[in-house]
Amino acid sequence: MRGIHVGTAAGIPIKLHWTFLIVLPLFAAAIGWDIGLLAEVVSELPGDDVDPGALEGEYQPWLLGLVAAVGLFVGVFLHELGHSLVALRYGYEIESITLWLLGGLANFTEMPRDWRHEFAISVMGPIVSVGVGVACYLGFLLTPAGADAPRFVLGYLAVLNVVLAGFNMLPAFPMDGGRVLRALLARSRSHAKATQQAAEVGKLFAFFLGLVGLFSANIILVILAFFIYIAASSEAQQTVMSAAFEGVTVADIMTERDRLDVVAPDVSLAALVDRMLEERHTGYPVVDNGDFVGMITLGDVQDVDPVEREAFTVGDVMAEDIVTTSPETEAMDALRTLQEHDIGRLPVVEDGELVGLVSRTDLMTAFNILRTRNVDRVAPDADDVTAGPGQEAGSPLERTGRR
Ligand SMILES: [Zn+2]
């Protein structure tokens, strides 16, 4: 997730997503709007009451709302930092902590596979939130009874941080509680199976959360439900794919050079289209006297006016700046590269020479076959698996890349 870089904590870049910049004033306004009601809620806390009348001055509710909203996001940030510090201790790398529409997100370059690691990392966020809530409550108690504004903010943050901790512990994968559930399930099952089951529970929770959001007209809850549903499905699918592709390299599934249809740069586009139809390929590596020089796809041809396709050659329109892969690359990494660059095929290059081609279709077909083959095999132990999918990895669903 991209965002504005605003600082660094424990070596981790902190970012603000553009949705955060919208949601912060909205939160501030919502708190300011309901300040009388919220003051009554805060007054329920053991300790002296907060006087709603003192808070409802001319501009004070909005100002207090802003301070409370900023405090809330500081709490969210500390929550994410809690996850991150435990993860760093186990040797995981954290790309960034981003504050966005739905709170915070710590981006891991690699997801923990050891259930103990995942358990410890997941519970630390809510533990920090409870700690922040308790600290705010102590501040609330220690602040003199007459100081209604700071006491309101502290009381509000005390309640909200504890509510946040409780909410995050719902077993709605990929929220913290869902990750704890997966970690506990993974003690006696494969990582992939545990993920699938936790994701099912997560989707069920997302469904109910969405219903509650609809009936209470709470738009944030509805968005959160959508997010949980999509993230649960996506991560489950990624994990299943990683498990199926374990130990499989590009060399295992690529179309090798001697079986590969290639095209020369001096062929006209019109002739290329005829060949595409005949061979039903939509992309070719371009090879000039044995040297790999570029890639040409149906999309590149479509960019040229039909009447000019006789005059243009493959060499004129081919892409020369090509993302490539190597035969030893893990199949799952190749799939991720295809998704990141939104392309349909990767030339496989070894020592500067074209040795094959791997396409999305190859990978998806291989995945379906591997899954069928692996059905009755015992799934790998969690400790044997090295690289996991990034938290932010996109949907592994097959997309038809233009290139
Ligand atoms: Zn968390």
Task: Convert 279-312 into a string of H (helix), E (strand) and C (coil).
Answer: HCCCEEEEEECCEEEEEEEHHHHHCCCHHHCCCC
> Would you place residue 132 in the very low, low, confident or very high pLDDT band (cuts 50, 70, 90)?
very high
CA dihedral 157, 162, 165, 167 (to 10 degrees): -100
pLDDT at 127: 96
Report how far Cα 90 is from the mean position of its chain's Cα atoms.
21
Domain ranges in the chain?
Answer: 4-244, 250-379
Least confident of 19-23, 164-168, 336-340, 388-392: 388-392
Alpha carbon of 126 to ligand 1 centroid (Å)? 6
Whether domain 250-379 has CATH 3.10.580.10? yes
* Residues within 5 Å of ion ligand 1, judged at the Cβ atom: 125, 168, 176
Q: Is 171 a residue whose pLDDT tops 70?
A: yes
pLDDT at 181: 92
Mean pLDDT of 142-162: 86
Mean pLDDT of 359-387: 64
Alpha carbon of 307 to ligand 1 centroid (Å)? 58
CA dihedral 323, 329, 331, 337 (to 10 degrees): -30
Mean pLDDT of 55-72: 81
Give Cβ neighbours of residue 266 (< 8 Å, ≥ 6 apart): 313, 314, 315
Q: Is residue 78 a contact partner of residue 128, using CB atoms and an 8 Å limit?
A: yes
Q: Is 315 a residue whose pLDDT tops 60?
A: yes
Of all residues in the chain, the percent with pLDDT exceeding 90 is 23
80 is catalytic: yes
Candidates 58, 80, 328, 340; catalytic one: 80
Letter string b/e over residues 91-130, b meaning 16 or more CB atoms within 10 A of that residue's CB: ebebbbbbbbbbbbbbbbebbbbebebbbbbbbbbbbbbb
pLDDT at 374: 65
Mean of pLDDT over the chain = 83
pLDDT at 36: 75
Nearest in space to 335 (alpha carbons), one of 238, 240, 262: 238
In the DSSP assignment, the letter for residue 222 is H
Alpha carbon of 178 to ligand 1 centroid (Å)? 10
pLDDT at 313: 92
Q: Is 134 a residue whose pLDDT tops 90?
A: yes
Q: Is 29 a residue whose pLDDT tops 50?
A: yes
Q: Is 290 a residue whose pLDDT tops 90?
A: no
Q: Is 378 a residue whose pLDDT tops 80?
A: no
Give Cβ neighbours of residue 118 (< 8 Å, ≥ 6 apart): 111, 112, 179, 180, 182, 183, 186
Taking only the tens place, the pLDDT of each residue in 252-272 is 888 888 888 899 999 999 999
Taking only the tens place, the pLDDT of each residue in 345-364 is 889 988 878 899 998 888 88
Give Cβ neighbours of residue 178 (< 8 Å, ≥ 6 apart): 170, 171, 172, 198, 199, 201, 202, 205, 232
Select the more confidently predicted residue: 109 or 77: 77
Alpha carbon of 112 to ligand 1 centroid (Å)? 15
Q: Is 120 a residue whose pLDDT tops 90?
A: yes
Give Cβ neighbours of residue 314 (< 8 Å, ≥ 6 apart): 263, 264, 265, 266, 267, 268, 269, 272, 284, 286, 296
Select the more confidently predicted residue: 293 or 32: 293
Mean pLDDT of 157-179: 89
Alpha carbon of 49 to ligand 1 centroid (Å)? 31
Sign of the C-alpha dihedral computed for residues 69, 73, 78 and 82 taken in this order: positive
- Alpha-carbon distance of 206 to 393, in angstroms, equals 20
Residues in the chain: 403
pLDDT at 79: 92
Q: Is 276 a residue whose pLDDT tops 60?
A: yes
- Alpha-carbon distance of 287 to 315, in angstroms, equals 10
- Choose the most confident range, by mean pLDDT, from 57-61, 112-116, 119-123: 119-123
Alpha carbon of 349 to ligand 1 centroid (Å)? 41
